[in-house]
């Protein structure tokens, strides 16, 4: 069949919006009609070349849609089911999945742009097009492994809950699952865009005490306050480590979350914690990034860790966050600044880079 997709052929060039051929789903694969896909910064790392990736590729990994067809042997979803994409698949069978770390699933060892048989389902003029993170959400239709879709309730608006498929879970999950922030704890959040606002919102939900937002854009700090930050620090005009330490009142915060993805911000996040504190890296760094930290920081029992897709159980965390949204306990609609057609996806990335938007959502 035919689909319309946004394809990256060359780095530092706009995505090409075009009709492509979509092959039938193979065994244990599903065909999904996407309703919406959020405009996330991770795709931009491929567009800029900061993260090298095999091209051409259909981008997009924050999608929600409806299952249209299923291949032989599919048991976990049915035609008509509503699904969120799971940019980290979980097989339910490997040691990671059984051991309680499904975001570390062994399927991550496979090429993340191919189906499990080592081929793709997109063609253009005979050329094979890769599937970004085995999702390819910047397309009207895609084929995915059944491990890459998460069934969700049918009454949830797909053009809103698509955000849970990446930014929302990536931002909120580390608070619930990785840091396990207790009530009253002090928290600092580096980076207050479409992911960091979820870290702030989750910290507020668990009853954190001081929630200190750090960014270089005044607009993003204003958003941070709307989502629950109790203090804001403009790192463009003040020393963020010194300010966070001073605001904490105890030499540093209990937990620091880094959502920018640079050497400087990771180091600042660690330095902003007090002895015994924890820093969690969520931001995606350009390839080759290294950090430089005094080992004495770790002899003082600081912990530096990271989080991938919420560091919990994506198959239950995604529906849980959607339930919270549907019952009015979690803000999602407020994260969406713009809804755009696929043809405007390049403009949506321009707006993201300028810091004009919390999240844009591409609607099909």
Task: Please tell me whether residue 318 binds Zn ion under the rule CB under 5 A.
Answer: no
Sheet holding 253-258, edge to edge: 231-234, 211-215, 187-190, 253-258, 273-281, 303-306
Task: Please tell me whether residue 314 binds Zn ion under the rule CB under 5 A.
Answer: no
The 119-158 site mask, x for binding Zn ion (CB under 5 A), equals ----------------------------------------
What's the rounded Cα separation, in Å, for the pair 97 and 99?
5
Query: CB-wise, 86 or 273, nearer to Zn ion?
Result: 86
CA 131 to mean position of chain CA atoms: 17
What's the rounded Cα separation, in Å, for the pair 257 and 283?
9
By annotation, the residues acting in catalysis are 40, 42, 45, 61, 166
Closest C-alpha to 11, from 287, 343, 308: 287
Structure tokens given for 289 = 């990034």
Residue 168 Cβ vs Zn ion, minimum distance, rounded to whole Å = 10
What's the rounded Cα separation, in Å, for the pair 256 and 190?
8
Stretch that binds Zn ion, among 34-42, 249-257, 295-303, 313-321 (CB under 5 A): 34-42
Question: Which of 30, 36, 63, 166 touches Zn ion (CB under 5 A)?
Answer: 166
Residue 113 Cβ vs Zn ion, minimum distance, rounded to whole Å = 15
Query: CB-wise, 166 or 175, nearer to Zn ion?
Result: 166
Residue 87 Cβ vs Zn ion, minimum distance, rounded to whole Å = 7
Task: Please tell me whether residue 40 binds Zn ion under the rule CB under 5 A.
Answer: yes
Structure tokens given for 337 = 């600044």
Residue 129 Cβ vs Zn ion, minimum distance, rounded to whole Å = 20
- The residue with tokens 């309730």 is 153
> Which residues make Cβ contacts (< 8 Å) with residue 95, sequence separation at least 6?
106
SS3 29: strand
Query: CB-wise, 204 or 313, nearer to Zn ion?
Result: 313
Residue 52 Cβ vs Zn ion, minimum distance, rounded to whole Å = 18
Phi/psi for 356 (5° steps) reads: -80, -20
Question: Which of 16, 91, 116, 216 touches Zn ion (CB under 5 A)?
Answer: 91
Task: Please tell me whether residue 116 binds Zn ion under the rule CB under 5 A.
Answer: no
Burial class (CB in 10 A: 0-12, 13-18, 19+), 94: middle
Stretch that binds Zn ion, among 39-47, 135-143, 214-222, 253-261 (CB under 5 A): 39-47
Task: Please tell me whether residue 30 binds Zn ion under the rule CB under 5 A.
Answer: no
Task: Please tell me whether residue 94 binds Zn ion under the rule CB under 5 A.
Answer: yes
Residue 301 Cβ vs Zn ion, minimum distance, rounded to whole Å = 32
Q: Which residues pair with 20 in a beta bridge?
A: 3
Query: CB-wise, 43 or 215, nearer to Zn ion?
Result: 43
Question: Which of 31, 37, 42, 130 touches Zn ion (CB under 5 A)?
Answer: 42
Angle CA 209–211–216, to nearest 5: 165
Question: Which of 3, 30, 57, 105 touches Zn ion (CB under 5 A)?
Answer: 105
Residue 195 Cβ vs Zn ion, minimum distance, rounded to whole Å = 7
What's the rounded Cα separation, in Å, for the pair 364 and 349?
17
Query: CB-wise, 91 or 217, nearer to Zn ion?
Result: 91
Closest C-alpha to 212, from 257, 166, 177, 182: 257
What's the rounded Cα separation, in Å, for the pair 206 and 176?
8
Helices (H), 278-344: 296-299, 314-326
Query: CB-wise, 85 or 273, nearer to Zn ion?
Result: 85
Q: Which residues bind Zn ion (CB under 5 A)?
A: 40, 42, 91, 94, 97, 105, 166
């Amino acid at each position: 069949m035919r689909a319309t997709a946004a394809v990256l052929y060359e780095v530092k060039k706009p995505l090409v919006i075009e009709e492509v051929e979509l092959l039938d789903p193979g065994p244990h694969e599903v065909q999904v009609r996407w309703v919406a896909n959020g405009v996330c910064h991770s795709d931009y790392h491929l567009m800029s070349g900061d993260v090298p990736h095999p091209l051409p590729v259909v981008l997009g990994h924050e999608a929600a849609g409806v299952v249209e067809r299923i291949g032989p042997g599919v048991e976990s979803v049915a035609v008509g089911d509503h699904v969120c994409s799971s940019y980290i698949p979980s097989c339910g069978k490997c040691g990671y999945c059984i051991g309680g770390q499904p975001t570390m699933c062994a399927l991550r060892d496979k090429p993340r742009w191919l189906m499990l048989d080592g081929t793709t389902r997109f063609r253009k003029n005979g050329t094979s097009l890769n599937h970004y993170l085995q999702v390819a959400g910047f397309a009207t239709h895609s084929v995915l492994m059944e491990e890459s879709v998460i069934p969700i309730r049918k009454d949830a608006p797909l053009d809103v809950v698509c955000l849970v498929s990446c930014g929302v879970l990536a931002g909120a999950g580390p608070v619930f699952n990785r840091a396990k922030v207790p009530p009253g704890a002090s928290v600092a959040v580096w980076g207050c865009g479409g992911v960091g606002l979820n870290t702030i919102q989750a910290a507020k939900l668990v009853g954190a005490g001081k929630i200190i937002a750090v960014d270089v854009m005044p607009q993003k700090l204003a958003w941070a306050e709307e989502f629950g930050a109790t203090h804001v620090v403009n790192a463009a005009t003040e020393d963020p480590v010194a300010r966070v330490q001073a605001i904490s009142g105890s030499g540093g915060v209990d937990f620091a979350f880094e959502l920018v993805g640079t050497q400087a911000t990771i180091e600042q996040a660690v330095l902003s914690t007090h002895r015994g504190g924890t820093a969690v890296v969520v931001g995606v760094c350009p390839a080759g990034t290294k950090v430089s930290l005094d080992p004495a920081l770790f002899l003082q029992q600081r912990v530096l860790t990271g989080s991938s897709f919420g560091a919990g159980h994506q198959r239950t965390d995604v529906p849980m966050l959607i339930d919270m949204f549907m019952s009015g306990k979690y803000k999602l609609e407020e994260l969406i600044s713009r809804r755009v057609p696929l043809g405007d996806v390049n403009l949506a990335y321009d707006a993201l880079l300028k810091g004009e938007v919390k999240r844009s959502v591409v609607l099909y």
